[in-house]
């Protein structure tokens, strides 16, 4: 039998989209924010992730590992989305509470003035 040594063949991978874009797609869907806000956050995170991947590759890490590490450093997708949602809604809550307290205090003052005048 004549056996010839064959070079190992690299596995054929299906063409996939950019893994960073895929992660950002999932993340922005979880945000539940208006499109303009989602796009702003997406652009900011994409810039951060790509810069981090570049940094890791400069240090000698292969691209696939660098992408995986950069995404992992951000944390769990759903948890990160919750934190972004909370940060987005916090200003509204900070504005709402003083407004409600002022309205309640005003109503209490008006009622007490009305009762004194009677």
The CA distance from 102 to 98, in Å, is 6
Structurally, how many domains does the chain consist of? 1
Residue-wise pLDDT tens for the chain (118 aa)?
Answer: 455 555 554 443 433 578 888 888 888 888 877 888 888 888 888 888 899 899 999 999 999 999 988 888 877 665 666 666 666 655 555 555 566 556 556 555 556 555 666 5
Judge whether 6 lies within some domain: no
Give, as one character, the DSSP assignment of residue 59: T
Output the pTM of the full model: 0.56
Q: Is 7 part of a structural domain of the chain?
A: no
Assign 75 to helix, strand or coil: coil
- 92: domain range? 19-117
């Amino acid at each position: 039998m004549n056996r010839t040594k064959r070079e190992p063949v690299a596995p054929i991978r299906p063409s996939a989209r950019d893994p960073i874009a895929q992660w950002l797609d999932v993340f922005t869907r979880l945000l539940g924010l208006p499109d303009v806000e989602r796009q702003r956050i997406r652009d900011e995170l994409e810039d951060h992730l790509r810069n981090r991947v570049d940094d890791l590759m400069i240090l000698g890490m292969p691209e696939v590992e660098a992408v995986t590490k950069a995404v992992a450093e951000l944390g769990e997708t759903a948890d990160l989305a919750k934190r972004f949602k909370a940060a987005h809604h916090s200003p509204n809550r900070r504005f709402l509470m003083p407004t409600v307290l002022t309205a309640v205090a005003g109503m209490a003052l008006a009622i007490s003035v009305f009762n004194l005048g009677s």
